Structures are given as structure tokens and as C-alpha cells.
Chain A
Amino acid sequence: MSEREPSLKGAGRNSLEGLRELVKREEIKPEGANQDLTPPVAAEKKKTLDDVINLIKKGIIEGEMARKRRGEKKSADLALRDYKEILKKSAGIIRDAGEKASIKSLQEKLEDELGISVGRKLAAGIFNYVRTNLDKEGLDSGETRTSGPEKTSSQGKKAAAGTGTPDRVKTGVGEGKIFNFSQEELDNIVAAAIVRAAGNKASPKLIQEEFRKAGFEINDNLASVLFERAKAKVSERPESEEKPDQETERVAEEIMEDPEFKRDVEEAAEAAGIEGEIDKSKLLLLKERIKGFGKIILSGWKRNWKEFVAGGAAGAAVRTAVRLSFGSSLGLGIAAGAVAGATSGGVREYISQRKKFTAESILEEIKSASDDAKRAAALAKAKEVLDKTRVSGSKEDVEKLADIVREGIVLSKSKAEMTGSQSEKEKIINILKIAEGVREEVPKAEGKRKEILELIEQVEFQKGEIDRKKIARAMVKGAVIGAVGGAVGGAISSWISDHFFAGGGRATQEVVSEARKEFSLVRSHVLSAEIAGKAVKKSLEESQQRLSEKIFHVTAEKGDGLTHLARRAVHDFLVNQKSLNPDAFKSLSVEQLVYSEDTLVKKVTQGLMEKTRSFMTDWSKPSGGSSDFVREAAGQARETAQKAVEEAVNTGAVSVEDVLPPPSKGTNSILENICYQEEMESLPEAKDLPEGIGLSQQTVIEQAAAAKSGNKLSGLPRLRKWGPIVEEMRESVPHQDLTSKANTLMENLANYSKSPSGAGYLENFVRQNGQDLLNSVSEKNYSIPGKSLLDKDLFIQQFRGISGGKNSTFFANLINALEHSPDYLRSVGRFRNVIQSCGFDEKEFAGVANDRAVKFMGKYGGEKVGFFARAGLGPEELGHRQKLVEAMKKMMGDGTIGGKKVDLSKFKVSDFVKFFV
């Protein structure tokens, strides 16, 4: 078959037959019967002709095919008769009208005489074609001048009378090629259609009969030849192609899923049907362009869109239509596409053309504007494109375009509407008004996402100012929470990448990019967790590969792997938001994420800690601050992160458990288990324990382990307990200038070397809070809040740390602090707290009066590790402690202290101070 053979696909509803049926069903006629059609027709003459010719040819055959598939028994005669009769009748009508011939009269006559409604475009195509070819293709047979439909062609009659060629009867309306098809090709096409429709019942006889019904006699030989050709042609096609509608329908459905496309169609329908609601000039233009076929297309569109998009390609027509419609209605493109074939290919072409007006290209145009005038013109065009949502491209490009246009308008309006004589207030208020107006005027939503624009309008114009403030604040708060949650892992991994090899951040970007694709449907906080974990892992993996190529000037310390350090860095990041409540982060899920990379993490050096911490600190600066807002955001981040991990673990999305050791005795959660494992790893070896504490080394180890495992967040997290203490101190202690003491403190810190990690923390902490800290523990008027004493051991430990490990200073300050809390031990509740924090059994002290506290402390103090051991005191401190205990015993025993009789009812801590210091 010729390469120009029209496609047999499609139901042909877009064909002449289809159009006619639509017209009949809808009982509507083409619009614009009274319009002067000359200008647009002339403009479209050439392309329209081609379109119409193809439309007729395809429509005739495909319409017939569709009927066959639907099981309708009508033969090809109607189809064959239609196009010939239309053309012949048209030729007669045009000739009869002479100089007065017009498309409108052609339409009317065709309807009157053939009973068909022909759209303006089709009529124009026929009109122009017939007028052009009236004399050279034998259209003017003379018989066409008669009124009423003709049932047979003159050639057919001749053939029937035996005047045709021996084996082939002329079946065309003229000699030679007709509409780009030879007679033979047409015969083959029709025969194939008949064979395909008849299936097993097809035969040469059937073909002969069908041709006869159409008014064309063919002899047996030709019928046999056509049958064989048709059979061969049909058998060439696989079964799947026997049902082209399915594929077409699938494509159609796919296209229809495109929301932009749907919207365009709806807008086109709307524009065609609702007069008065659009600009008059546009309406006129719109009507002009769609009259004759607009209503037919659009009214049938919603019900029959699948059929509209079925059929062969109509790219050229669509391209033209889209170009023409630029500057008017969006819907024209689709309407034109529909009438020109409305094919799947055509629709795709339409979309493709539409997307040619991309933000990128317009941006380029603006950018390349050589002078202000051109730039202004480009901006105007851009605005128009935005107004009409005739722009596509990346979301970023569209928004960028809108920004540029907005800027251009704001600046030009500001210049035009304002004068230099206005006051400062007037100027800025007016500029803000202009900016507000322009934001409304130039939408930023890509593809005019109606619901988005409506939502913005709803919030911006319907909600009150107060609500808007709250909404904006809540939005930013959420955004920061997301940034905190998502950035922690990424920040760490980015630093790792940067530190270990060039091109850092790539691994993170890759992971994030992939993860976003992969997890686009996953809940976002789980996504964040996944991204963070994977980014860390990827970075570390790549880092590992390069470890051998690098020299690191840092040394690893036992038990201080990257996991630990990274966790610490995360903690630092959060703590360094100095208004944050550190206690709120004790279960920060990001730690778990980092832990999930445990096996890799352990190979990285301690240097990472400092670097990471520096990085995190720097990184946090832009979003730092001390407002409640940040505190709230961080608190929310913790909750979100916690929830994310719980969900991730529960759903298996993050296999934290895979890399964790099995739960150990005394722990009941992953986090506790992590802490427990860490603490166990960092426990001192027996040989490292201090001598002379009066206990076996094993006992100390056991006690220490028990104490640590009993504290869910020992080690690092315990330090966080400084937070509430300091906060309370701030509230209760008037600020005084203690700079010199702070300096001393810092010097001491610099010398503090027993616990590098602890020093690191303290350093950071004290840098932020040192003055307050010193202030709080040194001022005479400071009263330790009861609840803070729950952390007394920690308090002491840290106090010792900041005092430079000097025992005398430590004890002096401890007693000094106690001295100024003379009523402290008089409270049973507080006493019990001390007992608990010292590691004693609370039951033993049930109901103990306050004056017995010292006695019990003396009784138990020398026999158990408890308080002092947990405070990390060495032999020297314990020596002091022994003295203290002895003194207390003596006091309780004989009522003396320092050889002097003591009235226990009037006992004060200061008595000890006098004795002891």
C-alpha cells in the first residue's frame, strides 16, 4: 500500500461522518453563518485544503470501518458516495453560483441538498479545492448541476454498462489521481476495509457486492485481485493492531490525565460557551476562529474526547493552530487540534508546541534584550504569557520569570507613580502598595494551578491580618523544623565529603536526589530520616575508599568513633542554640540515624569531632538565634524526628536494629541500648582505677556500670542537664560582672585534660554560659533549686571540672554552696533526693528526720561507692571525704565538732565549713 495510505486507526468521529453525526445528535449547526468568512479562509487556504482533503479521505474510510466494527451492516457505499457526492455537488453549487459563490452558500446548499452539515473549515477547504480544480480534474461533469443527492456516479454507470476497462472499472470522479490517491490505491483501501470488517466471511464476491452497492461495478478478476491484496494486507497486521482503538484509547487516556491538558480543554469549552464573561475583542476573535466547528468540537468534546483524540496525526494543523492561538485563547489550540484531526499525535503535538513557550526561552529573551525598550517589550510579552498561562517549563523558571516581571513592573510603576517630594513613609507605603498589586497581577503559579491561586487568594485576602501572621509564622516554623530535621544528616555527610575528598557534597546530593524520587510518596519525615541516613552512609562509604590516600593529623581514641562524635556534634549544634532547652533533645532521633552507620563510623578519627562541631556550629549560625521561635522549632524538630524514627523502625524503612547490638540486660529501648553499649565500651579497665578507695576494683566497675546503665542518658546526655540548672540560675541570680572569674574559669578549662570530650563540651557550654554559671555558684545569695539537686552528682562533677580539679576549691565551693542552703537538708523530700542521687536505698531513709541525715550519710558514706564515687572523685578527694565523715560521726557520737560541743538542733552546714576548711 502507498505510504500515503491513511491510517485505518480510530473511530473516525473526527471525520466528516463523525462531525455530521455530532451535528445531527446535537441538533446544532455551525456558527457564523452570517459572518464574512473571507479573510480567515484566505489566510488558511493552503493548509486548510490539505487538512480537509485528508480529513475527507480518512473520515470516509475510517468512519465506515468504525461502523463495521460496531457491527453496523452498512456497507462502504455511503462513505464512497459521500466524498464524491460532496465534491461533485459542491462543484455544481459553486459553478451555479458563479461570482456569488461563497463558503457560506456552499454550506447551506450542502445541507439543503445533501442533508449534511459541513463545518466552516471543511466547507472552506472544499470551496477552495473545488474552485481551484474545477476544470482540470473533471469535477464539472455537468451532472453535478442537478439538485438532490445522486446515488451513483456517472463513471459507475458507464462501468455497469460495460464501457470501462476489461478488468478494472474507473471508480473515481476524475481521471488519474484523486486527492493524492490513485484509483487502484483507493480500491485497495476500500477492499481491505471490507475484508477486515467481514472477517472470515470476506470473499471476492463480497467485495464485488459492496462495490456494487456503492455504485461501482467491478468484474470478477478485479474482485479476486482486490480480495487477495486485502487479505494479504490484513494478515500482515498482528492481532493487536486489529484493534487500534485500544492503543489509541490508552494514549488518549494518558493524555487526558494531564491536568494542563484537561484544563485547556475545559477553558476552551468555557470560552466557546460563555459569552460576555470574557473580553469582547477576545470573544470576537475567539468566535471568529472557532465558528463553524467550535461548538461541534467543544460540545462533543467532553462526552467523546476519546474519539476526538483517536485517529492519525495532525501535527501540522495543530502547530499552526497553536501559533495562531498564541495571543488569544488557550482553548483555540485544542479546538483547532480537535477539528484538524484531534488525534493523539495531534494532541501531543499541541502540548509539545504549547510547551515551546517556556519560561526558559522567555528568560533568555529578557536577558538578551540589548536596550531598555527591548527589555520592556520582553517583559510585556512575559507578562502576557504569564497572564494567559501560556508558559511552561521548570517550576523554578516559571517562578523566576514571574519574579523578573514583578520586579520590572514594581520598579517602573514606582518610578512613574511616585515623586521625590514624598516623605519617607509615603514612599515606602506606596511602594508596598504597588508591590502588593503586582503580586496579584502577576501570578506565580506554574500553569496557573487554579487551586493554588485560589488558596493564596483565600489566605491573603480573606483571612484577617492576625491569622495571616499566625499562618506565616507557623509556616516558617515548620520550614525550619524541616530544615533542622533534614539538614543534620546532610550537614554531617557534606562535611565528611568535603573533608575527605574534593567535590564534597556530591554524594549527599546524589542520595538526596535519588531518595526524593524513590520516596516521593513516603511520609516526609520518614523521607528526611532516610535521606539523612543514606547521605551519611554514602559519604562515609566514599570517604572510606579514599582513606588510604589521605594523611590524617588526628588520632582516634578508644570508644570515640564517628557515631559518637557525630552525635555529639549534633548535640552541640542544638545546644549552641543557646536558648534551647537541651533536655528536650535527650531522645533526638538523628542520633539514631547516625548510629545506623555504626560500622563505618567507628573507623573515623576523633578529629572529626572538632571539625564536625565547628562545621555544625558555623552551619547553624544563619539559622541561629535566641528567640522563642527557634526554641519551639527545635522542640518540634525533636518530636518530628523522634516520630520519624519510630515510624521508620516500625515499618522497617530504616534498619536501625540491623546495625545495633542486641539489647542488653537493663535496657528496654534502642536508645537505651545504644547508651548502654557505649558506656560499657568506655568503662575503665580495672588497672586504671584509682587506688585506695577502700573498695575492690570489681565492685567499682560494677557500681559504675550499674549507675551508668541505670541512667538512660549518661555520659553526653547527662551534660544536657545543665540546661535547666542554668536556666534557673539565670532567673534567680542577679547578673554581676564576674569577668575575671570567668577568665579564671576558662583558664582552668584549658588545663582540664582528663576527659577531652568532656572538656570539649564544657568549653562550648561555658563559652555560652560561663559567666552565668560562675555567677550562680559563687554568689552568696544563690539558693539551689530543689529539683536541680536531683542532678547533684552531676553538678558536683562538673563543678569539679570547672574548678580545675583542685580539691580544696571543689570542697570549698561545695560547702560554700551548701552553707547558703541551710534549710536544704531539713526537707525530707530533698533529703531523699540526695539519698537517691547518692545511690542509697530510699527505703532505708523512709521517714528519717532531717537531723538524721548527716548520721546516715556518715553511716553509709564510708561503705559504698555512691555519691562520691559517681562524682568521679579520686583518692585525694576521698581523703577529704573521710575527714568529713569522721567529723560527722564524731559530731553525731559525742556532739562535738573540732573539739567543741555542738547543739545539733542548731546545726548548720557552716559549722562544717568552719571545721573543715
Chain B
Amino acid sequence: MAKTQIILDKNPEIILEELGIKNLSPEEEKEVINTVLEHFNKVIIETVILNLDDNQVDRFKAALERNNFEEEITKITAAVPGLADKIEKAVEDEFALLKKAKGIVS
């Protein structure tokens, strides 16, 4: 979970380093980090949902209606084989893509 852990830890320094971003003011850094984290959250969400079976999708939908959805979502995703690896790969690939795109325009 190396790359995913970076996202979870929300460590600005490491995230910016991963993306090859330098020389940001504190305000800029905050904005960038928030955007990056939000983006990666979506990447994770998509990856997970794509790996749910029909039954899990139904449960997931139901969970979203609850206030304490986190616990139920945790239970659901704990039951998906190999999901941690898939999330890690998706996050890793996304990091690589963003870095590559940035390299193109630099």
C-alpha cells in the first residue's frame, strides 16, 4: 500500500515529491494537495466499485444511505479478494500518469 498509504497519510511533502512539484507557496500547496487528494479518492472509489459484484453493489448502495456508512463499506471491501493490490496499482498508475502529463507540459 505504499502509494495508497501516501494518500491516506496526506503528507504534502511526499505527495508533491511524488508528482514532481516544487516551489509552491503554502497556500498553493494546500490547494494542490486538496485537489490531488480529492482526485485520488475518486480513483480509489472507482477502482473499488468496479470490483464489486452485484450483491456487493447492492449492499454498497444501501450503505450509502446510512449515517455510519464507513463501517459497512469497510466490511464490504474487506470481502473483495485482492482489492488492496488493485487499489495500490490504480493509485500508482495515476501517480505515474499525472507525473507524465506534468512532464509533457513542463
Residues of A within 8 A of B45 (CB): 456, 459-460, 468, 471-472, 475
A459-B49, A471-B70 in contact; A414/B77 too (CB < 8 A)? no
Residues of B with C-beta under 8 A to A471: 41, 45, 64, 69-70, 73
> Which A residues are CB-close (under 8 A) to B5?
623, 625, 627, 629
CA distance A467 to B50 in the complex (A): 19
- Pairwise interchain contact A465-B38, C-beta atoms closer than 8 A: yes
Give the residue name and chain of the A residue nearest to B2 (CB): A622
Is the contact region of chain A dominated by helix, strand, or loop, or is it mixed? helix
B-side contacts of A420, CB under 8 Å: 105-106
**Cβ < 8 Å to A, chain B residues 48-106:** 48-50, 52, 54, 57, 60-61, 64, 69-71, 73-87, 93-94, 97-98, 100-102, 104-106
Residue ranges of B at the interface with A (Cβ–Cβ < 8 Å): 1-2, 4-5, 8-9, 19, 21-24, 28, 31-32, 35-46, 48-50, 52, 54, 57, 60-61, 64, 69-71, 73-87, 93-94, 97-98, 100-102, 104-106
Q: How far is the CA of A468 from the CA of B43 in the complex (A)?
A: 11
The CA-CA distance from A863 to B71 in the complex, in Å, is: 54
Judging by beta carbons under 8 Å apart, are A468 and B80 in contact?
Answer: no
The residues of B that contact A480 with a CB separation of less than 8 Å are: 1, 84
- Assess whether B78 is in contact with A432, with CB atoms less than 8 Å apart: no
The chain A residue sitting closest to B10, CB to CB, is A469
Q: Mark A449-470, 1 if CB is under 8 A from B, else 0.
A: 0011001101110010101111
Q: Which residue from B31, B71, B86, B100 sits with its C-beta under 8 Å from A474?
A: B71
A415 on the interface (CB 8 Å rule)? yes
Pick from A46-54, A344-352, A421-429, A836-844 the stretch touching chain B. Answer: A421-429
**Chain A hits for B54, CB < 8 A:** 451
How far apart sit A477 and B44, CA to CA, in the bound complex (Å)? 11
Contacts of A456 on B, CB cut-off 8 Å?
45-46, 49-50
B57, B80, B102: the one within 8 Å of A428 (CB): B102
A481 at the interface (CB under 8 A from B): yes
- Chain B contacts for A475, CB-based, 8 A: 44-45, 48, 73-74, 77, 83, 87
A640: CB under 8 A from chain B? yes
- Other than the given A473-B8, A625-B5, 12 more pairs (CB < 8 A) read A414-B105, A428-B98, A429-B35, A431-B101, A431-B105, A452-B57, A471-B70, A472-B41, A472-B45, A485-B78, A486-B81, A627-B8
Main secondary structure of the interface of B (DSSP, over half): helix
8 Å CB contacts to B: which residues of A634-686? 636-637, 640
Are A439 and B85 in contact (CB-based, < 8 A)?
Answer: no
Cα A434 to Cα B5 with chains together (Å)? 24
Which residues in A have some Cβ–Cβ distance to B below 8 Å?
A: 399, 403, 406-407, 410-411, 414-415, 418-420, 422-425, 427-429, 431-432, 434-436, 439, 444-445, 451-452, 455-456, 458-460, 463, 465, 467-483, 485-486, 516, 523-525, 527-528, 622-623, 625, 627, 629, 636-637, 640
Alpha-carbon distance between A636 and B73 when the two chains are bound, in angstroms: 13
Residues of chain B with a CB closer than 8 A to A477's CB: 74, 77
| Distance of A482 Cα from B73 Cα, bound (Å) | 12
Instruction: Determine whether the beta carbon of B97 is less than 8 Å from that of A410.
Output: yes
Contact, CB under 8 Å: A432 / B77: no
Q: A403-B93, A636-B78 are in contact. Are A415 and B104 (CB under 8 A)?
A: yes
Closest Cβ of chain B to A877, distance in Å, is 46
- 8 A-B pairs with CB atoms under 8 Å apart are A414-B101, A414-B104, A420-B105, A424-B24, A428-B21, A455-B61, A474-B70, A623-B5
A622 to B23, CA, bound (A): 29
> Assuming A431-B101, A434-B101, is B61 touching A479 (CB within 8 A)?
no
**When chains A and B are docked, how far (Å) is the Cα of A439 from the Cα of B80?**
23
Contacts A427-B106, A471-B69; is A479 near B22 (CB within 8 Å)?
no
CA distance A415 to B74 in the complex (A): 39
Q: Are B31 and A425 within 8 A (Cβ)?
A: yes
Across the interface, do B79 and A474 meet the contact criterion of CB distance under 8 Å? no
Do B78 and A476 touch (CB < 8 A)?
Answer: no
Q: Which of A403, A424, A479 contacts B78 (CB 8 A)?
A: A479
How far apart sit A480 and B78, CA to CA, in the bound complex (Å)?
7
Interface centre among A415, A432, A436 (most CB of B within 10 A): A432
Task: Give the Cβ gap from A260 to chain B, nearest Cβ, in Å.
Answer: 14
- List B contacts of A406 (CB < 8 A): 97
Number of A-B contacts defined by CB within 8 Å: 199
- A436 and B22 within 8 A (CB): no
CB <8 Å contact, B1 and A478: no
Closest residue on chain B to residue A463 by CB atoms: B64
Contact present for B36 and A629 (CB under 8 Å)? no
What B residues does A476 contact at CB under 8 A? 1, 4, 8, 44, 77, 84, 87
Q: Could you say which of A407, A516, A623 contacts B81, with CB atoms under 8 Å apart?
A: A516
Decide if B77 touches A478 in the complex (CB within 8 Å): yes
A455 touching B44, Cβ below 8 Å: no
CB A493 to nearest CB in B, in angstroms, measures: 16
Q: A415-B104, A477-B74 are in contact. Are A432 and B93 (CB under 8 A)?
A: no
A847-B78 Cα distance, complex, nearest whole Å? 51
Q: Write the nearest CB–CB distance from B87 to chain A, whole angstroms.
A: 5
Which chain B residues border A623 with CB–CB below 8 Å? 1, 5, 84
Q: Once the chains are docked, how many angstroms separate the CA of A290 from the CA of B54?
A: 34
Name the one of A423, A429, A439, A527 contacting B46, with C-beta atoms under 8 angstroms.
A439
Chain B residues near A629 (CB-CB < 8 A): 5, 8
- Chain B residue nearest to A399 (CB atoms) is B50
Given A414-B104, A460-B42, A472-B44: A425 in contact with B78 (beta carbons within 8 A): no
Q: Which of A410, A424, A472 contacts B101 (CB 8 A)?
A: A410
Would you call A452 and B49 a contact (CB within 8 A)?
yes
A406–B54 Cα distance when bound, in Å, is 26
B101 pairs with A435, CB closer than 8 A: yes
Determine the chain B residues whose CB is within 8 A of the CB of A478 once the complex forms. 73-80, 83
Q: Which residues of B contact A528 (CB under 8 A)?
A: 81
Q: Is the CB of A425 within 8 A of B24?
A: yes
* Known interface pairs A399-B50, A478-B83; A425-B41 also in contact (CB < 8 Å): no
B2, B46, B52, B82 — which one has the most chain A CB atoms within 10 A of its CB?
A: B46
Q: Which residues of B contact A424 (CB under 8 A)?
A: 21-24, 28
Chain B nearest CB: distance from A578 CB in Å? 15
What B residues does A403 contact at CB under 8 A? 93
Q: Which residue from chain A places its CB closest to the CB of B5 in the assembled complex? A: A625
A473 to B19, CA, bound (A): 21
B4 contacts which chain A residues (CB < 8 A)? 476
The answer on a CB contact under 8 Å between B41 and A469 is yes
B-chain residues with CB within 8 Å of residue A481 when the two chains form the complex: 74, 77-78
Q: CA–CA, A427 to B24, complex, Å?
A: 12
Which 6 residue pairs across A and B have the least CB separation, nearest first? A478-B77, A524-B79, A483-B84, A479-B83, A472-B41, A474-B70
CB closest chain-A residue, reference B42: A460
CB distance from A536 to the nearest CB of B (A): 17
| Distance between B27 CB and nearest chain A CB, rounded to angstroms | 9
Partner of A479, one of B24, B80, B105: B80
Return chain A residues, CB-CB under 8 Å to B43: 439
Give the complex CA separation of A608 and B45 in angstroms.
Answer: 40
Cβ-defined contact, B32 with A482, below 8 A: no
Q: In angstroms, how far is the closest chain B Cβ from the Cβ of A454?
A: 9
A119 to B78, CA, bound (A): 55
Q: Flag if A407 contacts B97 (CB, 8 Å).
A: yes
Q: A444-B50, A455-B49 are in contact. Are A636 and B74 (CB under 8 A)?
A: yes
Return chain B residues, CB-CB under 8 Å to A431. Answer: 98, 101-102, 105
Query: What residue in chain B is nearest A414 (Cβ atoms)?
Result: B101
Q: Are A482 and B104 in contact (CB under 8 A)?
A: no
Task: Tell me the complex Cα distance, A439–B43, Å.
Answer: 9
CB closest residue in chain A, given B76: A478
Complex-state Cα separation, A482 to B40, whole angstroms: 21
How far is B77's CA from A640's CA once the two chains are assembled, in angstroms? 12
A411 B100 Cβ-Cβ under 8 A:
yes
Q: Which of A407, A455, A470, A640 counts the most chain B CB atoms within 10 A? A: A455
